């Protein structure tokens, strides 16, 4: 992948993932694993009730299998000949000066010392059952157990998608023929994935040098059926008894039962099975792609899935552990999401230009040609193309005389005008990070490396001791992605807050209020929340995890990449940026509706002015003269409308109408009109103010779906009037065809409507007794949009928007 292909690679990724979700198999080859394949396996696990989830198969390429078999033969021959091999006859790391001739026991000892991760809550089987066991407070019942400050299980164990992704990445690496493991081991790992067995792995404990040792040890333990570790497995339907196949009793009672109300990463409040002899069905809502899963000791989990444990052979324990699979897997999931957020940032910029009546010319190709950074060129091309056909974004700068330019911004603000220069470097860094991660997941990250027999090693094979497990390439990539997300989020925040701010939003209501500004503060709370998100992103973006390493393991691991830690923090940044993007999109849609409402009000001004002139000056019959007077008044009227948005409607419209006096008197004095008495000006102002107020109220009702008689404080005459609802997406006709697609998706498909109907009716929950708050909260709307970003629906819309744009 190259920098130039960021947008097109994103489009390809979305389409590729959809192909796996509709039946295309995923074939593991050792060298062609893609980000979308990782996402398909990680995010869409199998369940007992579904057969449509992505399926994994190993390549049938005989050359690939032959390399793996040859690599394994090298290990077997070395062991048979009594050759000393690191990790087969020696200890590990700083203990490599120890020796043994029992490679199986050595492998078991490797797993034993790496099972040092902390997973809460603790389980009874973790502790001795003899009377000499150290008692816990809960066993003594001396004090009640405190409620946890955070969920103990989900904060100490990895989400299942991480583990499934890591299992896939490790299998892909092991089959490359450089690790000396049996082909059966790769097949068994694939079987775990296809049958949904997902080991529970500690969240923390890897320094990502010598690989993600501790993390991967729990995968190895699950493969051999170690009863001391646990795994998720799809629940059988209907539930059936499962007998224990473990020689060690396992109780799932926690040592502190009241301290862990939520044990499941799939859904809240899922209890563990009371014993190994009974396996209840746990019904979960459709969250995160998971349905019914049960947590069991590894032997029972394998038995439920119909999988036979696989005893590991020489070198295989180390072969599983000594790799960067977790760091690479989480990085793959993160960079894939970050790439989508980067493209969405450009899409939201284009829509912000429309909401702010900005200039499409800021993104003219000439600008990029004058400063040819490839990311800038492509982000500008994307925004420029998205705005094609918009009624709100000016196509070309209109030249005006200096006398007509007073007090008007000559160019758009930084958040719009410099967006390509801001987003361009992020496009480049995200593309590079995706390239790095794709390389990593198709690499061999073991130590030692096994070179199959060849002419160069006299057909005996060779063992190389090196450091492919050092994952600093991933750390650097994730550090850069995290910084890019902070930059993208900052741009979203600035655009959002300028759209909400009446001092900067070019005539929109303050806080984008849909109702009366004194009783509707619209998106003020979202503006504050967005500042919180941005502050957190600034902290995350400023981290350089790669320089934070400390010496580990007898100072043998003297430099550590901490890649998994960097990936975890970057995932947090991705989640926060997604919140910002969802908030920004909701704000933009509200702004577009208000802009369309304002456009309709502007379109009605000539008729309102003419009718008011005739009311005040009934002898004014010359149509040409009336037209010239209307033309003289409109500029001042529009300017007054833009700068009085913070006023209550009645007061505002009287002030706006009053702004017409000077231009009207000037026009009358330069071209006297028979019958136009200046003493009638107050009547004109009153008539125009009433018409403006009535028209704005009518438009509010039409856009919000409220009848005039239902408006809070409506006059009796309102009972006689009705308005036609403009529908859920009233701004559509003004938008560019490409941006219209996302706006309509939010308004029509997601059902997130223009905000303010409750304020206009006066039935906001708590405003008066007896209302039910049926509209939900503003945050509910953001949540719906956020979920649509997370689950890929908005990504599919974006792909449709950008397809066909030349040069991306």
pLDDT at 215: 96
Residue 105, pLDDT > 70, answer yes
Q: Is 86 among the residues known to form the active site?
A: yes
Q: How far from the centroid of its chain's Cα atoms is residue 496's Cα?
A: 18
pLDDT at 5: 78
Q: Indicate the DSSP class of residue 647.
A: S
pLDDT at 626: 80
CA angle 329, 121, 210 (to 5 degrees): 35
Q: Across all residues in the chain, what is the average pLDDT?
A: 86
| Residues 328-345: tens digit of each pLDDT | 999 999 999 999 999 999
Residue 748, pLDDT > 80, answer yes
pLDDT at 291: 55
pLDDT at 217: 95
Closest CA to 301 of 160, 114, 108: 160
Strands 56-58 and 26-28: parallel
pLDDT at 671: 65
Domain ranges of the chain: 22-129+147-323, 337-590+795-802
Structural class in CATH, domain 337-590+795-802: mainly alpha
pLDDT at 246: 34
Closest CA to 354 of 597, 599, 595: 595
Interhelix angle 778-790/793-802, rounded to 10 degrees, is 70
How confident is the model over 732-740, as a mean pLDDT? Answer: 97
Q: 């066993």: which residue's tokens?
A: 139
Residue 271, pLDDT > 50, answer no
Return the structure tokens found at 44.
């869409």
Q: What is the largest CA-CA distance in the chain?
A: 119
Closest CA to 746 of 799, 803, 798, 701: 798
How confident is the model over 542-553, as a mean pLDDT? Answer: 84
In what helix (H) or strand (E) does residue 706 lie, and over which residues does it extend? none
pLDDT at 629: 87
* Burial 741-760, CB ≥16 within 10 A → b, else e: bbbbbbbeebebbbbbbbbb
pLDDT over 70, % of the chain: 86
Inter-residue contact 580 to 534 (CB < 8 Å): yes
Catalytic residue, candidates 10, 20, 44, 86? 86
How confident is the model over 529-548, as a mean pLDDT? Answer: 94
CA angle 37, 43, 46 (to 5 degrees): 95
Residue 148, pLDDT > 70, answer yes
Residue 240, pLDDT > 70, answer no
How confident is the model over 316-327, as a mean pLDDT? Answer: 95
Q: How far from the centroid of its chain's Cα atoms is residue 90's Cα?
A: 45
How confident is the model over 684-694, as a mean pLDDT? Answer: 95
How confident is the model over 752-757, as a mean pLDDT? Answer: 94
- Predicted confidence band of residue 701 (pLDDT cuts 50, 70, 90): very high
- Predicted confidence band of residue 620 (pLDDT cuts 50, 70, 90): confident
94-108, 393-407, 499-513: range with highest mean pLDDT: 499-513
Q: Does domain 22-129+147-323 have CATH number 1.10.275.10?
A: yes
């Amino acid at each position: 992948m190259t920098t130039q292909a960021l947008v097109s690679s994103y489009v390809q990724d979305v389409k590729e993932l959809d192909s796996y979700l509709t039946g295309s198999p995923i074939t593991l080859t050792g060298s062609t694993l893609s980000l979308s394949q990782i996402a398909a396996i990680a995010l869409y696990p199998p369940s007992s009730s579904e057969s449509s989830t992505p399926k994994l198969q190993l390549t049938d390429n005989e050359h690939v299998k032959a390399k793996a078999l040859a690599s394994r033969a090298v290990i077997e021959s070395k062991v048979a000949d009594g050759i000393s091999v690191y990790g087969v006859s020696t200890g590990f790391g700083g203990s490599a000066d120890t020796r043994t001739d029992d490679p199986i026991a050595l492998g078991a000892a490797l797993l034993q010392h790496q099972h040092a991760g902390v997973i809460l809550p603790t389980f009874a089987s973790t502790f001795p059952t003899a009377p000499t066991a150290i008692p816990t407070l809960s066993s003594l019942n001396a004090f009640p157990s405190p409620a946890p400050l955070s969920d103990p299980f989900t904060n100490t164990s990895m989400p299942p998608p991480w583990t499934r992704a890591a299992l896939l990445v490790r299998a892909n690496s092991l089959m490359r023929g450089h690790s000396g493991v049996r082909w059966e081991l790769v097949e068994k790992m694939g079987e775990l994935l296809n049958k949904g067995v997902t080991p529970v792995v500690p969240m923390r404990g890897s320094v990502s040098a010598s690989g993600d040792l501790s993390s991967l040890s729990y995968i190895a333990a699950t493969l051999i059926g170690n009863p001391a570790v646990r795994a998720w497995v799809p629940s059988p339907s209907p539930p059936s008894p499962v007998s224990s196949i473990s020689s060690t009793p396992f109780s799932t009672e926690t040592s502190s039962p009241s301290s862990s109300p939520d044990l499941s990463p799939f859904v809240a409040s899922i209890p563990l099975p009371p014993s190994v002899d009974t396996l209840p069905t746990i019904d979960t809502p459709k969250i995160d792609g998971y349905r019914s899963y049960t947590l069991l000791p590894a032997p029972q989990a394998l038995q439920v899935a119909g999988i036979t444990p696989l005893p590991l052979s020489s070198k295989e324990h180390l072969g599983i552990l000594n790799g960067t699979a977790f760091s690479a897997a989480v990085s793959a999931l993160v960079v894939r999401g970050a790439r989508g957020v980067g493209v969405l940032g450009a899409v939201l910029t284009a829509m912000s230009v429309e909401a702010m009546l900005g200039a499409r010319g800021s993104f003219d190709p000439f600008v990029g040609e004058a400063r040819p950074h490839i990311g800038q060129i492509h982000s500008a091309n994307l925004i420029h193309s998205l705005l094609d056909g918009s009624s709100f974004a000016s196509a070309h700068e209109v030249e005006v005389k200096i006398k007509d330019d007073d007090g008007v911004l000559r160019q758009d603000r930084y958040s719009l005008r410099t967006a390509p220069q801001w987003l361009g470097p992020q496009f480049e860094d995200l593309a590079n990070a995706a390239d790095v991660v794709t390389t990593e997941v198709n690499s061999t990250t073991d130590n030692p490396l096994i070179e199959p027999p060849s002419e160069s090693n006299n057909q005996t094979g060779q063992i190389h001791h090196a450091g492919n497990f050092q994952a600093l390439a991933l750390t650097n990539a994730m550090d850069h992605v995290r910084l890019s997300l902070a930059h993208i989020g900052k741009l979203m925040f600035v655009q959002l807050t300028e759209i909400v701010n009446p001092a900067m939003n070019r005539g929109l209501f303050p806080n984008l209020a849909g109702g009366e500004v004194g009783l509707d503060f619209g998106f003020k709370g979202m503006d504050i929340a967005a500042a919180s998100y941005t502050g957190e992103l600034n902290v995350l973006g400023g981290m350089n995890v790669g320089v934070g390493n400390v010496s580990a393991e007898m100072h043998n691991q003297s430099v550590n990449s901490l890649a998994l830690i960097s990936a975890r923090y970057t995932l947090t940044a991705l989640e926060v940026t997604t919140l910002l993007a969802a908030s920004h999109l909701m704000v933009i849609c509200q702004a577009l509706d208000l802009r369309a409402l304002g456009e309709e009000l502007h379109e009605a001004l000539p008729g309102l002015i003419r009718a008011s002139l005739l009311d005040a000056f009934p002898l004014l019959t010359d149509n040409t003269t009336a037209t010239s007077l209307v033309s003289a008044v409109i500029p001042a009227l529009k300017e007054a409308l833009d700068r009085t948005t913070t006023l209550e409607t009645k007061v505002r419209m009287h002030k706006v109408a009053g702004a017409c006096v000077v231009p009207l008197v000037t026009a009358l004095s330069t071209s006297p009109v028979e019958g136009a008495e200046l003493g009638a000006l107050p009547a004109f102002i009153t008539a125009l103010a009433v018409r403006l107020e009535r028209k704005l109220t009518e438009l509010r009702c039409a856009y919000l779906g409220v009848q005039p008689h239902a408006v809070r404080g409506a006059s009796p005459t309102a009972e006689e009037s009705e308005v036609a609802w403009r529908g859920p997406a009233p701004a559509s006709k003004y938008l560019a065809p490409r941006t219209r697609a996302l706006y309509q998706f939010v308004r029509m498909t997601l059902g997130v409507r223009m905000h303010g109907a409750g304020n206009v009716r006066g039935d906001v929950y708590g405003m008066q007794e007896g209302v039910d708050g049926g509209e939900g909260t503003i945050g509910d709307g953001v949540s719906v949009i956020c979920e649509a970003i997370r689950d890929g629906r908005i990504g599919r819309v974006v792909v449709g928007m950008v397809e066909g744009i030349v040069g991306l």
